[in-house]
Amino acid sequence: MANNIADLWRTFPAFIPEFVGHQATHEIWERHLAHCPVRAMQPNWQALEANDNPEQAVWGLQSVTLHTAVSEMGDEWPGEWPDVLPAEKSTITHTNACFGEPLVHVQGIALYQIQSPQGLDWVAQCMFTGVGRLQHLTFVKMHDWKPLAVKYAKPAAELSSDQEPDSEFPISISAAGSLAPASGWYEAILPNGHPMQSFFAVSDTRLVFREQGERFPMLGVSPKTDETLVQWVWLRAD
């Protein structure tokens, strides 16, 4: 089962475990959602803290749902499914192989107690058709809310001329082959949908330390021409 669920997270977008069960202001979520197509996953948002300024209201992502082609409850998720869970071809045998024995299996619904890649308590909910084919898969957080790790910089236009980006906002997103704008740790990201995006999302090679002015390394993307798609996101100073 461990190998199967590892294959699951190598295939599904890395932002699923990064987002589900996490909270942030509307402003911060908007910056992240511009890069990550959560809308295609039927997100279930929860309002956590109201604010007179809507941009500063706090929201949490309770769950996401990936629909297959045979789902009667939503549009098919256009992303890739892992070999161990082949979308609408999946049966209860496949989901058991991924998640273990279900806590509940009744009337076409199976609930599994799982842990996210970060070790957080989740439930995986699977709904099947009348002939036992997977309609959709939902990941639901069961743990206390966690703060969203901020990856995307506040637009430069929003910073005053004498304001330096602080620890809440990464210094920048840097292009492949460019020079580091500040000393610190950086994470390489690829566009969602790239064949190697899920691989590098969990690979240690995506993390590097660079001194200010030091050039970013080649990530090792195949084909080599796709190295230009790599972006380096500033994480922290040390």
**Separation CA 195–CA 41 (nearest Å):** 19
Number of H helices, E strands in the chain: 5, 12
**Separation CA 210–CA 212 (nearest Å):** 6
Residue 3 is predicted with a pLDDT of: 65
Q: Can you read off the two tokens belonging to residue 160?
A: 């005053």
| Tens digits of residue pLDDT in 73-132 | 888 998 999 999 999 999 999 999 999 999 999 989 999 999 999 999 999 999 999 999
| Tens digits of residue pLDDT in 209-219 | 988 888 889 88
Q: For residue 128, which of 110, 112, 108 has the smallest C-alpha distance? A: 108
**Separation CA 219–CA 24 (nearest Å):** 30
Residue 176 is predicted with a pLDDT of: 80
**Is the whole-model pTM more than 0.75?**
no
User: In the chain, where are the structural domains located?
Assistant: 2-147, 156-236
Residue 126 forms beta bridges with which residues? Answer: 110, 137
Buried b (16+ CB within 10 A) or exposed e, 155-175: eeeeeeeeeebeeebbbbbbe
